[in-house]
Amino acid sequence: MKSVYCYLTIILVTFLVYYNSLSNEFVFDDESVIQNNQSITSLENIPKFFTAEDGFHKVIGRYYRPVVSSSYAIDYYFWGLTPYGFHLTNIIIHIVSCLLLFKILSLLFWRYKYRNLFSLLSSLIFAVHPVHTEAVSWISGRTDSLVTMFFFASFLLYIEYTKEMRFESKENSLQTVK
């Protein structure tokens, strides 16, 4: 099975599973995190999320989440206070995570004949698993999806880097043998 078909299948299935969340409204923490949060109304505030008091969210205590606040500011720039856009971003982040997982698995199992099929099935299980419902469907749950996406991206880069290092190491050892 070609990788491009696997990627398209992951995108389609994941989007279809979470499509119904696009019609959801703001709920619970979304009121304080998005609707009443004046700091996300301007993209100029993004640097402040990383360096100033604006980076601390104050719903229940103080916790530092500049990346999540930046993503809300970007959503606000494009969508205003329309929940549809915020939910769409959550779905896109989850789809990217699933695609990254597929790539990771296909690299880890590169020796196996059916690696794409195994990677596809594993990624689809991850994509539709009910444990992700809150992170994808609830706007304030975006933190979990972003962490997953960045973890998979960093792990993929690590695999690519170590693969390159192994290749260079083999080249060096072949040169010394000659």
- What's the confidence (pLDDT) of residue 1? 72
HSE on the CB side for 67, CA within 13 Å?
8
- Do residues 96 and 149 lie in contact, with contact meaning Cβ atoms separated by under 8 Å? yes
User: Phi and psi dihedrals of 56, rounded to 5?
Assistant: -95, 125
**pLDDT score recorded for residue 30:** 81
pLDDT recorded at residue 38: 83
Q: Please give the chain's pLDDT, 178 residues, in tens.
A: 788 999 999 999 999 999 999 999 888 888 888 888 888 888 988 888 888 766 666 655 667 888 998 999 999 999 999 999 999 999 999 999 999 999 999 999 877 888 899 999 999 999 999 999 999 999 888 999 999 999 999 999 999 888 777 766 655 655 555 5
CA-based nearest residue to 25, from 82, 71, 93: 82
CB atoms within 10 A of CB 84: 13
Predicted pLDDT of residue 170: 59
Amino acid identity at 127: A
The pLDDT score that the predictor gives to residue 171 is 59
Long-range contacts of 162-169 (CB under 8 A, 24+ apart): 163/107
Helix residue ranges per DSSP H, 20-141 = 30, 46-51, 66-79, 83-108, 115-128, 133-137
